């Protein structure tokens, strides 16, 4: 497993997306709401957190760069981080990646 170290994303727990969308619809809001998690993380760090949470072998995780991983692929922006201030202003709590993993572990 290779994880990109120079790429930032905003992972989001699917249950939080459903709840956030429900809040926006019920509040009859318009505009753009980023219904996303509450932290920015690299794919590599996400893989490591998953391995730690579910007791997978972390020695199988290797670091790579965007240039190596997406070689011959479509160009991608470095920073895919989105802020969720607007959705949280409606009282919606978007979980961090680690909180989402904890909930997934609890559900299984």
Element (H, E) at 21: helix 14-26
Q: Which domain holds residue 37?
A: 2-107
Neighbours of 97 (CB within 10 A): 22
CATH of residue 64's domain is 3.40.50.720
Question: Tell me: the pLDDT tens digits for 25-52?
Answer: 999 989 999 999 999 999 999 999 999 9
Structure tokens at 5: 């170290």
pTM equals 0.85
The sign of the dihedral angle between the CA atoms of 16, 36, 69, 47 is negative
Question: Tell me: the pLDDT tens digits for 68-105?
Answer: 998 988 887 888 899 999 999 999 999 999 999 999 99
Q: How many structural domains compose the chain?
A: 1
């Amino acid at each position: 497993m290779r994880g990109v170290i120079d790429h930032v994303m905003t992972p989001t727990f699917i249950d939080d997306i459903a709840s956030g969308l429900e809040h926006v619809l019920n509040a009859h809001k318009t505009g753009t709401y980023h219904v996303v998690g509450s932290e920015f993380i690299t794919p590599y760090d996400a893989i490591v957190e998953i391995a730690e949470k579910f007791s997978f072998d972390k020695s199988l995780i290797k670091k790579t760069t965007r240039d190596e991983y997406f070689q011959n692929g479509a160009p991608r922006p470095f920073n895919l981080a989105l802020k969720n201030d607007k959705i949280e202003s409606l009282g919606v709590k978007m979980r961090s990646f680690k909180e989402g993993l904890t909930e997934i572990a609890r559900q299984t």
